[in-house]
Structure formats: structure tokens, C-alpha cells
Chain A
Amino acid sequence: DQQVKQNSPSLSVQEGRISILNCDYTNSMFDYFLWYKKYPAEGPTFLISISSIKDKNEDGRFTVFLNKSAKHLSLHIVPSQPGDSAVYFCAASPNEKLTFGTGTRLTIIP
């Protein structure tokens, strides 16, 4: 039972455009959501998070939106840069345990 789903395994975006990565969840007990970024041969690194008491959180070029009624969150990257090419995992948490999605491979085309 996949409680956190990333339905797009891959996404290609032109450099300078907006990248939108999506994530859906099923467990209404999740109250904190995170995005991690992973480069090849490295461990995932934390990117941005949002708590369930907010619907938007920004950090530079990265913005995460949370729609609790739809159980959906999205990560917007604007403008997209070549260094953003990586695998992105969303994760959700009701407590100390994080549940991860399957990941989306983002490729930025120069």
C-alpha cells in the first residue's frame, strides 16, 4: 500500500522554465511534508518542507504547495537550472517515521 505516490517517474523541462513535481498521499494523519533531492552516487539531501498548518512555503527558487483537501503537494522550481537535474523524493510524516514516494527524475534541458 503506497501511502505516498509520485505518479510521474520522469520529467524533462527546458532550462529557465518552471519545473512542477507532484506528490499525492492517502494518510490523513500526515502533518509534515518534505522534499529531498538525490544526485547519482550520493545520498538524498533535504530541500524544503511544509507543515500542515501552512499551504505554501518558499525558499529561493523552490516553493512547495500543500492542498490538504486534495491530499496533494507540489514542488515548483523556477527558473529551472541544469544543476536541478536529479531525482526528487517527496516524504510525509505523522511522527518520527518518514514515508517516501517513489521519486521523480527531473532532467533540465539546456
Chain B
Amino acid sequence: EAQVTQNPRYLITVTGKKLTVTCSQNMNHEYMSWYRQDPGLGLRQIYYSMNVEVTDKGDVPEGYKVSRKEKRNFPLILESPSPNQTSLYFCASSLLQTGPLGANVLTFGAGSRLTVL
């Protein structure tokens, strides 16, 4: 089954304790991205990657790191989590298409709910 898998699905941690949220896709997609969903703010992009070893900042990258060493994996790293990073996180992937004849139709993971105390 074509899917994006995130782990963990739920996590409660404390300020300053490094954590990694893993993301893996089995569709051979070039493009991968992380979003956070917060009430009243919708989905905001944190980081994205257009291929292996190619990553770039989204709209809210502060406090996060990513890496893309393999095509299928795109982990999100919080080096020193803070309470304002309490959120619902989504990883997504797609083929890389642009322009009026096509665009990224993202496949999303089920989400990771992170609470930082």
C-alpha cells in the first residue's frame, strides 16, 4: 500500500530533550515536506526537500532541522524542543511536478501529536 509513515504518533516530552520524528514513504517520491497544524493557523510548512541531500526552509523553520540522506526518509529533528513547538506535525510526499498542468498532489502521513512540557 502506498503510504507515508510517521513515528511516533504521539509524544510527550520536556523542554530541551532532543527528539526525532521519523517519516518514510514507499512511493519513490522526490518531494518531501514537513508541516505543522495549529488552531487558527492551518498547515504551515517547516522544511521541504526536492531530492536526496537537497533541503530548504519553509515558512516556520526556526527550532527544527531535517536531513534527506535517502530518498524514502525525511526525519524532523527538534534539537532543543520548547513549549511553542507543541503541535500536530504532518509529513507529506509527492512526485515533483510544477506549473499549470500539474502540481504537487501531496500524500500525507497520519500525523504526530507532540506535546512539549
A residues whose Cβ falls under 8 Å from a Cβ of B: 6, 9, 31-32, 34, 36, 41-46, 49, 51-53, 89, 91, 93, 95-103
Q: How far is the CB of A103 from chain B (nearest CB, A)?
A: 5
Chain B neighbourhood of A103, CB < 8 A: 42-43
Candidate in A6, A45, A52, A96 with the most chain B CB atoms within 10 angstroms: A96
Does B74 sit at the interface, judged by CB under 8 A? no
Interface contact A89-B105, CB-CB below 8 Å: no
**Which of A36, A46, A52, A100: most chain B CB closer than 10 A?**
A100
Is A42 touching B111 in the complex (CB atoms < 8 A)? yes
Find residues 30-57 in chain B having any chain A CB closer than 8 Å to their own CB: 31, 35, 40-45, 48, 50
- Residues of B close to A102: CB separation below 8 A: 40-42
Q: Are A93 and B43 in contact (CB under 8 A)?
A: no
Q: Give per-residue flags for B74-110: 1 if the beta carbon is below 8 A from chain A beta carbons, else 0.
A: 0000000000000000101000101111111111111
Interface centre among B42, B48, B106 (most CB of A within 10 A): B42
Q: Evaluate contact between A32 and B42: CB separation under 8 angstroms.
A: no
Least CB separation from B38: chain A residue: A102
Assess the B105–A46 pair: CB atoms within 8 A: yes
B110 engages A34 (CB within 8 Å): no
Partner of A89, one of B42, B101, B102, B111: B42
